[in-house]
Amino acid sequence: MKESVLDVLIYLFENYMFDDDGYEPDQETLVLELSQAGFDHGMIDQAFDWLENLATLCEQHPEELPATVGGTIRHYTAEECEHLNLEARGLLLSLEQCGVLNTVSREMVVDQLMALGVEQVEIDHIKWVILMVLSNYTGGDGITELTESLVLDGIHACIH
């Protein structure tokens, strides 16, 4: 069995997010495929709930709305600090300061990280969630090679 909701989300992201063949399976087909891949039904349901919540957030905050980049200070709640350590919060701040995230997408990322239901969010979790949020929020247009590099390879790989 696979371990977490994030494992299900990564599987879906890697296998379906940027498919150019036009194949879009329905939820029933996806559930069957995920079950066959070894994912627990409870985790599959949680992953679909997570994706539905992300879709709702994207609808509530259309990309056309102005969203500031940098210059804002984000105060994290005690609960958020429990789940997002200093390194995690620093990564989010760095990505916001270099323009990968704006205030709206940052909030979506924080909301979706908290919705993972894990005790301590790891840096790799954050990177995947950022890619998923940006690909949904921008319809995939916000995912450039620079964004992928910043997120997956780290901010230091892009600053020379």
Tens of pLDDT, residue by residue over 59-89, are 887 665 455 555 678 899 999 999 999 999 9
Give tens-digit pLDDT for 120-158: 899 888 988 988 888 887 765 555 565 566 556 654 444
User: Left (φ > 0), alpha (ψ -120 to 50) or beta: where does 24 sit?
Assistant: beta
Enter the tokens of residue 22. 């036009």
Residue 2 is predicted with a pLDDT of 52
CB 130 within 8 A of CB 148: no
Judge residue 103's burial from the number of C-beta atoms within 10 Å of its C-beta, 0-12 exposed, 13-18 middle, 19 or more buried.
Answer: middle
pLDDT at residue 101, rounded to an integer: 86
Q: pLDDT tens for residues 8-19? A: 998 888 887 666
pLDDT band at 53 (very low <50, low <70, confident <90, very high): very high
Which residues neighbour 141 within 8 Å (Cβ) at sequence distance 6 or greater?
Answer: none
**In this model, does residue 118 exceed pLDDT 90?**
no
